[in-house]
């Protein structure tokens, strides 16, 4: 038999056959894989592609407005101008901002904040340098636009408080979301993460934040690998915030605030039938519009360190010894108990001896014989010393609580104080000592441990006058 000899030509043909078979097998496997990807996993990969290509951007809703009982606006949104900067067009950001500061008012704090924001943001995203800019400043920027690359004036909405300081303690103000705000929220609204989004910080703005904020809209945008928006695909509108109406009368509030002037004082006006608060003023006050624009450290320091405490509402945040106004509480406690006969007379020699201690009446010579009506009209201290010794502190304290002393009334203002309607248990727990008979004597005329806010005194008086639990 003739033996087959493998020449180089024959060897090459065999290798080609083997390689061809392998390539055909690989091609078949690849085709099968492609078919699997195209048919079996098409939806999954399409979703992944969309996730890389399509972004959802939130659209901030218009904030609800606040107005008084007659429809006078106390907080509203006004068209305003702002100056923005895009880092990738700006070159040296700090030098550019220093140049801008020669045209418009731009503090060193604004410059440092803006530089920091550009470092944190994508280079193609605009950041706000100054908000609520005057038309004159916008014109200056527009004229010098060729020498201010990356700087652009824009139109938007800003919060405005038309009555300023007269309603600062009531309405409050809005400000940018802080890390503390985010940490405090159990389930933070995605709106809170929008750069420079503002929320209520104090007052009605804070109390009704969720109502005033509204619900975000959204837009679907196509972005490239760097996150730059290429085009908008779809837009869905949100819901604007709800308007809030309060019981205060703007005209009366302005009048009361004007009467207080620059004194360190407060006043509350209530409707005794409905319980509506018609005016609630505290002086001195501050301009809430400064906080919306972004108050400087120096200006805030002047407010914070002022001994007359303009940032605090004395009507609800501070508590003071109520003094002789509290005598009505002691009198009502006696009448309710039945121990006080309104026509019975008590002799006031100008003092009362209690446990070897002399408690004086404000009138050194005394008032002589006085009944309930006379004791209130002439504010006789001894009459109430005597009544308190018969009643005891527990009944006086219970009546004070019933009339609104030592309890919060949950009005939409910040940091409402509880005040204090003391009794034996309170002193033992908080002072670590027994209640003394002298404590009862002092409490009977609104001194000692008794503390009340001006609002609580107004509620007390309104409840006495109307007989209603308002």
In angstroms, rounded to a whole number, what is the distance separating the alpha carbons of residues 12 and 6? 10
Distances (CA, A) of 413 to 165, 168, 416: 15, 10, 7
CB within 8 A of 392, min separation 6: which ones? 440
Burial of 451 from C-beta contacts in 10 A (0-12 / 13-18 / 19+):
buried
Query: Do 350 and 432 contact (CB within 8 A), yes or no?
Result: no
Residue for token pair 């929320």: 199
Work out the angle at residue 151's Cα, subtended by the Cα atoms of residues 93 and 107, and round it to the nearest 5 degrees: 60
In angstroms, rounded to a whole number, what is the distance separating the alpha carbons of residues 247 and 141? 44
What are phi and psi for residue 445, nearest 5 degrees?
A: -115, 25
Distances (CA, A) of 54 to 124, 190, 213, 262: 17, 18, 27, 57
Angle, helices 381-391/327-337, rounded to nearest 10 degrees: 40
The one-character DSSP state at 245 is: E
Burial of 169 from C-beta contacts in 10 A (0-12 / 13-18 / 19+):
buried
What are phi and psi for residue 208, nearest 5 degrees?
A: -110, 35
Question: Is 324 a known active-site residue?
Answer: yes
Beta-strand runs (E) in 286-409 = 346-348, 351-354, 357-360, 368-370
Sign, CA torsion 223/227/232/235: positive
Query: Do 240 and 64 contact (CB within 8 A), yes or no?
Result: yes
Both structure tokens of 14: 């065999």
Catalytic position from the list 324, 433, 453, 466: 324
In angstroms, rounded to a whole number, what is the distance separating the alpha carbons of residues 379 and 384? 9
Burial of 460 from C-beta contacts in 10 A (0-12 / 13-18 / 19+):
buried
Burial of 262 from C-beta contacts in 10 A (0-12 / 13-18 / 19+):
exposed
Q: Which residues are catalytic?
A: 324
């Amino acid at each position: 038999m003739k033996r087959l000899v493998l020449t180089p030509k024959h060897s090459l043909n065999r290798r080609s056959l083997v390689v061809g078979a392998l390539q055909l097998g690989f091609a078949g496997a690849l085709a099968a894989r492609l078919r699997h990807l195209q048919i079996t996993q098409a939806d999954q990969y399409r979703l992944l592609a969309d996730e890389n290509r399509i972004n959802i951007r939130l659209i901030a809703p218009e904030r609800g407005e606040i107005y008084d009982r007659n429809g006078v606006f106390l907080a509203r949104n006004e068209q305003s101008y702002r100056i923005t900067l895009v880092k990738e067009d700006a070159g040296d950001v700090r030098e550019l901002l220093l140049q801008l500061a020669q045209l418009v008012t731009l503090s060193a704090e604004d410059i440092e904040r803006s530089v920091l924001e550009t470092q944190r943001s994508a280079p193609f995203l605009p950041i706000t340098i100054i908000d609520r800019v005057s038309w004159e400043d916008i014109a200056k920027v527009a004229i010098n636009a060729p020498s201010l690359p990356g700087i652009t004036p824009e139109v938007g909405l800003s919060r405005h408080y038309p009555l300023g300081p007269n309603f600062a303690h009531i309405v409050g103000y809005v400000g940018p979301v802080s890390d503390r705000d985010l940490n405090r929220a159990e389930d933070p609204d995605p709106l809170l993460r929008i750069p420079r989004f503002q929320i209520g910080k104090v007052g009605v703005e804070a109390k009704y934040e969720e109502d005033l904020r509204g619900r975000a809209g959204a837009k679907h945008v196509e972005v490239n690998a760097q996150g730059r928006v290429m085009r908008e695909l779809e837009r869905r509108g949100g819901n604007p915030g709800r308007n809030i109406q309060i019981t205060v009368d703007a005209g009366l509030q302005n009048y009361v605030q004007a009467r207080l002037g620059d004194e360190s004082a407060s006043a509350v006006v209530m409707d005794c039938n409905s319980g509506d608060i018609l005016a609630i003023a505290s002086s001195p006050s501050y301009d809430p519009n400064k906080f919306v624009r972004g108050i400087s450290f120096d200006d805030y320091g002047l407010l914070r360190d002022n001994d007359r405490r303009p940032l605090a509402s004395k009507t609800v945040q501070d508590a003071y010894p109520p003094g002789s106004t509290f005598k009505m509480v002691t009198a009502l406690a006696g009448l309710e108990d039945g121990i006080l006969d309104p026509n019975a007379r008590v002799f006031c020699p100008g003092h009362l001896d209690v446990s070897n201690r002399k408690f004086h009446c404000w009138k050194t010579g005394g008032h002589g014989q006085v009944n309930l009506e006379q004791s209130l009209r002439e504010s006789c201290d001894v009459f109430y010393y005597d009544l308190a010794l018969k009643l005891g502190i527990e009944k006086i304290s219970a009546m004070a609580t019933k009339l609104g002393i030592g309890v919060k009334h949950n009005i939409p203002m910040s940091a409402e104080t509880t005040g204090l309607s003391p009794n034996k248990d309170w002193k033992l727990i908080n002072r670590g000592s027994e209640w003394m008979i002298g404590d009862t004597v002092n409490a009977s005329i609104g001194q000692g441990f008794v503390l009340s806010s001006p609002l609580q005194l107004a509620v007390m008086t309104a409840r006495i006058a109307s007989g209603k639990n308002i």
